[in-house]
Chain A
Amino acid sequence: MPSNKLHRAKVLLHRPAGRGYYRLVLLAPGLAAAAAPGHFVMLRVSANLDPLLARPFGISSVIAKRSIELYYRVAGRGTTLLTAVEPGRTLDLLGPLGNGFPVPDRAATPLLVAGGSGFPPLLYFSSRYGKQARLFVGSRDKECLPPAAVMKDLRSRTKAVHYATEDGSRGACGFVTDTLAAYLARPAAGESPVIYACGPNAMLASVSRLAAEHSIPCYVSLEERMACGLGVCMGCSVSMKSGGYKRVCKEGPVFDSREIDWGGKTILQVGR
């Protein structure tokens, strides 16, 4: 029985992309053909037993229908080891995984809200549905924004970019949710906004609250630690308002923001 999710992918390109990020391009035609914005992959960063588990990465682009592109920032032992992987090597890859973003209505204005290192799925989204979209991007300071090449793509694919940095070094001074709130208070004429967001949970909780205040549909892509990515370990579950849990890897990573029990999530964020 041929597998449609397990792939041995050749590393075509792997290099620093600026601002602390790496860009990794993997040849995986089967995976690339099945991928859609919002999907992710599980990647084993080494064949050793430590670290043991594969890491989830959001797909940021499909190139020439045969390869996928990932961006990552060195955040721990796994990503540190990954930086040493040289082009030409093969890596075990599982994907595409997850549900992906719902396709926006033709008349809608997607508001892409990217915080921290949450831009990859939105970068992919912008390649398909960017024309009508506005991007709201935020970070601590301008050096923590997505890499320059990514920002260039995002600028050219979307109709407007709204910057926010906490120190005011680029765009408005404050959080990305402040610029989003300012826009939602006075949206451009004729635009019917739908939010697509990816970033830290605290940001997503705020975005979700804004969406509810303005009665705007809002889809959030969540990040959680996960062991399998397949829906069997139940390790990545998040609390739902309706009670119980859903798996980020299977029912997500994209959720209607109204479903999520943000109370539970923001409490967990405190003290991180």
Chain B
Amino acid sequence: MPSKKKTKPDLSVDFAGIRLKNPVLTASGTFGYGEEFADIIDLNRLGGVIVKGISLKPITGNPPPRIWETPSGMLNAIGLENPGVDVFLRDKLPFLRNYDIAVLVNIFGYCLEDYVGVAERLDGVPGVSGLEVNISCPNVKAGGIVFGTDLKAAFELLSAVRKATRLPVIAKLSPNVTDITAFARTARDAGCDGLSLINTLLGMAIDIRSRRPRLANCTGGLSGPAIRPVAVRMVWQAAKAVDLPLIGMGGIMTHEDALEFILAGASAVAVGTANFVNPRATLDIIGGMEAFLVQEGIGSVRELVGKVCVA
């Protein structure tokens, strides 16, 4: 079909009411607030940016060492260091408004009220396209149970955030659970407009000579290509369980990786650790995806969502 090869494939996606010019986003915590990358890549070419997690008050983060490289991956325990929502609105968001891209603000807290506080502050703010809610934090008011690994806590939290904002709410699911579909359904029942998955897998590494953990925090989040098959599996399971749009992430390095997530059921993807390894990774992935669609004679990336062939 030579005629098809001439037309540029359509990469645009409507994600929970948010228009993305292409399905490639940057994963929270791997792209800062965009400034550091602006003199390396043209941010306007991205589908969107999911900014580093924002809390109600500033957080200084964990003591070093904070990162440790592992086979095809890395552990991190940064401790969600961030300047807080007020400084974000004053100093960080205006920069991102200069670009014609979706801006999803990742929010978190250590009690339900903190999450609600941030969500309220961001409601109606120009330049914010939606909220991504990191539910992998401990609830200090409930004995430190992690919101995202307890169905009741997750439901209460996401319902409260839902009520606090008119923005699209995207729940970022924790993979550290036995049945991801139960949490996908819970997020849907709480009124979420979409899901992000997966967050990092909890891991640990030990220095056998000093006998101490490699991270000062002892445990950390594992990311990078090492976790990709786990992430693709969870996206596939969640896509079958709920009728919500999904942002797939977990070790995406290339456009082939991104397309795996889309075939598994993700409408959009987020590139994380790859940004550290290759600051151009997002643009390479967008370019590769477009070339793949041309090659295969596929008119729109939307045609591939969830189209994994399962006999």
Contacts and interface: CB of A to CB of B under 8 A. Distances in A.
A44 B71 CA distance: 15
A166 to B, nearest CB: 20
A239 interface: yes
Nearest to A230: B36
Interface string A261-272: 000100010011
Interface string A214-238: 0000000000111110111111111
Contacts of A235: 66-67, 76, 78
A92 B278 contact: yes
Interface in A43-80: 44, 49-54
A1 interface: yes
B206 to A, nearest CB: 12
Contacts of A92: 278
B98 to A, nearest CB: 13
Interface string B33-44: 000110111100
Given A233-B30, A234-B81, A235-B76, A268 B275 contact: no
Contact of B64 (A224, A231, A232, A271): A224
A243 interface: yes
A4 interface: yes
A190 interface: no
A228 B61 CA distance: 18
Nearest to A244: B60
A245 B276 contact: no
B309 interface: no
A237 B42 contact: no
Given A49-B253, A53-B277, A245-B61, A5 B69 contact: no
A53 B224 CA distance: 10
Interface in B62-110: 63-69, 71-74, 76, 78, 81
A6 B63 CA distance: 30
B31 interface: yes
B23 interface: no
A245 B212 CA distance: 22
A1 B68 contact: no
B64 A233 contact: no
A235 to B, nearest CB: 4
Among A224, A225, A231, the one with the most B-chain Cβ atoms within 10 Å of its Cβ is A225
B32 interface: yes
Contact of B276 (A50, A228, A250): A228
B73 A52 contact: yes
A94 B278 CA distance: 9
Contacts of B37: 230, 232
B225 A6 contact: no
Contacts of A243: 60
A233 B71 CA distance: 18
Contact of A53 (B42, B212, B276, B280): B276
Nearest to B228: A49
6 contacts: A6-B40, A52-B277, A92-B278, A228-B275, A231-B32, A236-B64
Given A49-B225, A233-B29, A233-B30, 18 more contacts: A3-B41, A4-B39, A6-B280, A49-B224, A50-B71, A50-B72, A51-B69, A52-B273, A53-B74, A224-B64, A227-B74, A228-B30, A230-B40, A233-B78, A234-B66, A235-B76, A235-B78, A244-B60
